[in-house]
Amino acid sequence: MSFPSDEQPPAAEDLGYTLWAVFRREPGRPVAPGDLSAAVAEVEASGVTIRGWYDVSGLRADADLMVWLHSDIERGAAPEALQAALRTLRRAEPLASLVPVWNAMGVHREAEFSRSHSPAFLRGVEPSAWLTVYPFVRSYDWYLLPDDERKQMLADHGRKGSQHRRVLSNTVASFALGDYEWILALEAPELVDLVDLMRHLRQTEARRHVREEIPFFTGRRIGLDDIQEVLA
């Protein structure tokens, strides 16, 4: 199957690629002490930004640590740079002995009926203390509904979400990048902000057109010096 077109693809620096990776400790396999500073410096020199490390231990039984990477806002980075960055981090102690639990890559594309919407991480907004990341897949008939009907449902959804002003939204497309259509990362100064937002958004018509929206990975942003204690 081919789709000929004269349209030029966007350059890597025009796109906002992002990647989340979740790890867990391997029972019976101690985590070796080590310093991640050199690996982090190598990653950031490659045009990849580490938005944060997150302690996800305790919120789930199968995860301990999450890292969030994205293209450098000024220089940009191709998706393969994010792949290479994750490999660099995984080879470094104390991450080398960890087991991958979940990965998701996304890229900023024009949001449905909202050209002005862009992820917080691409606007240079500072990260918040708490993060929840989850995928979602629309119903089979969602994209076949009349545009006006979808636009109305999304507008209602957006109005409810905008009432939670302390929450930063990061929605990226993940069609063909994995098993999902969209990845959503929400950031907030307090964990309860995320709880309240997600509960409130259940009361929308757009919810009827969500086929999948798990797993959720939620954690507190931590510094490099805290990682060893989380994994101990």
Binding site as annotated, residues for Fe-coproporphyrin III: 157
Distances (CA, A) of 152 to 3, 84, 114, 161, 179: 32, 41, 12, 14, 27
134 is catalytic: yes
Cis peptide before 27 (omega within 30 of 0): no
Q: Give one DSSP letter per residue of 79-115, joined into a string.
A: HHHHHHHHHHHHHSTTTTT-EEEEEEEEE--PBTTBT
For the CA atoms of 19, 217, 223, 21, what is the dihedral angle to 10 degrees?
-30
Residue tagged active-site, from 17, 54, 134, 180: 134
Binding residues: 157
Residues involved in catalysis: 134
